[in-house]
Amino acid sequence: MVIARTVAELRSAVAALRRSGKTIGLVPTMGCLHAGHLALVDLARREATACVVSIFVNPMQFGPKEDFAKYPRPFDDDCRLCEGRGVDVVFAPGADFYAADSSTWVTEESVSQGLCGEHRPGHFRGVATVVLKLLLACGCDTAVFGRKDLQQLAVIRRMVRDLDVPVRVVAAPTEREADGLAMSSRNRYLSPENRARARVIPESLRRAQALVVAGERSAPVLLSAIRGHLATEPALRLQYLEVVDADTLRSISVIVPGRSVVALAAFLGDTRVIDNADL
């Protein structure tokens, strides 16, 4: 496995793979890898014949009061996990991945609005900018992202479409813990008590799905049922809860099975948890 620290080193490693007839799959990450990330790697290796994993804690997507400084960075452990999973190249640039006087941003102005975008101003501008830089640096054929980050996936798909970026975006199902909580690097911030309380989130989403299967089509009824179940954990502070169209991410009042998603963000202590479920 090659560890590339600069764009030039990455492009050299990718060129060597291409000379041997390989196609390239990219898994962009901020490190602190867990089983969810490794599932993305497995999917990338099925979709392409070589895999690149980027590990870069992107300062541009963190707000001034967010956790950039304390975000976990177990780089050696991450590399061992990547090597054990058959990754060909780890791309781990430093802060100079951005020029000191960098002044160019990628801004998506539709699907980035609402949901997380409403509460994290500038976040998706930072996401779109770094992902485009990674796609251009790697020149990959396929890029794999998880469905847990529903809005991020939508922003990247829209950016790739609108800017004619020559890459195929592949979405991977959300990987979950045994009790249903969506896997996330930030789950390690949860205290044992709040980790136990967090299971109310996937429970509420499963209840919503069961209501739709039973014939419920009213989004307000569904949202009321979810809020009622979340309220059984008074320590949980709901930031948003919406039923949205799966393509536009705009709020809807009538559920269309197969085209609607319920999405939420909540705090347990200082830890923000996001999740979503197809309806």
* pLDDT tens column, 118-155: 999 999 999 999 999 999 999 999 999 999 999 999 99
Q: Do residues 262 and 225 lie in contact, with contact meaning Cβ atoms separated by under 8 Å?
A: no
> Can you give the pLDDT at residue 65?
87
106-135: b (≥16 Cβ within 10 Å) or e = bebeebbebbbbeebeebbbbbbbbbbbbb
What's the DSSP call for residue 48? S
CB burial string 179-208: b at 16+ within 10 A, e below: ebbbbbbebebbeeebbebbebbbbbbeeb
> Which CATH superfamily does the domain covering 185-278 fall into?
Pantoate-beta-alanine ligase, C-terminal domain (3.30.1300.10)
Per run of 10 residues, the mean pLDDT along the chain (length 279 residues) is: 98 98 98 97 98 97 93 97 98 97 98 97 98 98 98 98 98 97 96 97 97 97 97 97 97 96 98 97
CA distance 60 to 42: 28
Using DSSP bridges, classify how beta strands 168-172 and 89-91 pair: parallel, antiparallel or unpaired. unpaired
* 3 contact partners, CB below 8 Å, separation of at least 6: 79, 89, 90, 92
Res 67: pLDDT: 92
The pLDDT of residue 117: 97
Q: What pLDDT was estimated at residue 236?
A: 98
Backbone angles phi, psi at 188, to 5 degrees: -70, -15
269: left (phi over 0), alpha (psi -120 to 50) or beta: left
Report long-range pairs for 10-18 (Cβ below 8 Å, ≥24 apart). 10/52, 10/89, 10/91, 10/137, 10/138, 11/137, 11/138, 11/139, 13/52, 13/88, 13/89, 14/52, 14/89, 14/138, 14/139, 14/140, 17/50, 17/88, 17/89
Tell me the CATH number for domain 2-172.
3.40.50.620
pLDDT tens by residue, 58-74: 999 999 989 999 999 99
Q: Which two tokens stand for residue 158?
A: 């829209």
Location of each CATH 3.40.50.620 domain in the chain: 2-172
Task: Tell me whether residue 37 is one of the annotated catalytic residues.
Answer: yes
Ranges in the chain annotated CATH 3.30.1300.10 = 185-278
Are the beta carbons of 250 and 244 closer than 8 angstroms? yes
Query: What distance in Å separates the CA atoms of residue 160 and residue 128, rounded to the nearest whole number?
Result: 10
> Can you say how many angstroms the Cα of residue 117 is from the centroid of all Cα atoms in its chain?
14
Looking at 34, 37, 123, 229, which residue is catalytic?
37
